[in-house]
Amino acid sequence: MSHFTTVATKITNLTALVKALEKLKMKFTQAEEGVVVRGWRGQTSLAELSINMGKYDIGVVKNEDGTYGLVADWWGVETTAGKTEQEVVDEISKEYAYQQVVIACEEQGYQIGEQTVAEDGTIKLSVSKWG
């Protein structure tokens, strides 16, 4: 019986996801031919990207609709990393969204200026464009 469960996300851009993982200082492995995701009792699954959470991993898998989901043995992740499924997904999703905005701004020729973070975690960016 598999302990792997997939969480649906709105991740569509692996470049932004990689930047988010780097910013969060999460160790990951990525390979075109796929990487192994470790689960309970040596069970494994294949994914496009594997995030190392200790003894267990979180895999990034492509869904039929072109989005990416996060697959893991979430019980194992929580017991070894000390973070719940929701905490991990929220942390990755928040930084991913930020990176998506930064990439979109840069692609349109804007430069990121001042950045402030409110008490509720809301991020306010000031961008500028010369020309």
pTM of the model: 0.88
Number of other residues whose CB lies within 10 A of the CB of residue 74: 23
**Overall domain count for the chain:** 1
Q: Are 21 and 28 in contact (CB under 8 A)?
A: yes
pLDDT at 1: 45
Q: Comparing C-alpha atoms, which of 23, 6, 20 is closest to residue 68?
A: 6
CA dihedral 37, 39, 45, 51 (to 10 degrees): -20
Span 99-129, pLDDT tens digits: 999 999 999 999 888 888 889 888 888 888 8
Q: Are 16 and 99 in contact (CB under 8 A)?
A: yes
Range of the domain at 91: 5-128
Span 61-107, pLDDT tens digits: 999 999 999 999 999 999 999 999 999 999 999 999 999 999 999 99
Where does 17-117 show beta strands of DSSP type E?
Answer: 28-38, 44-52, 57-62, 68-72, 111-117
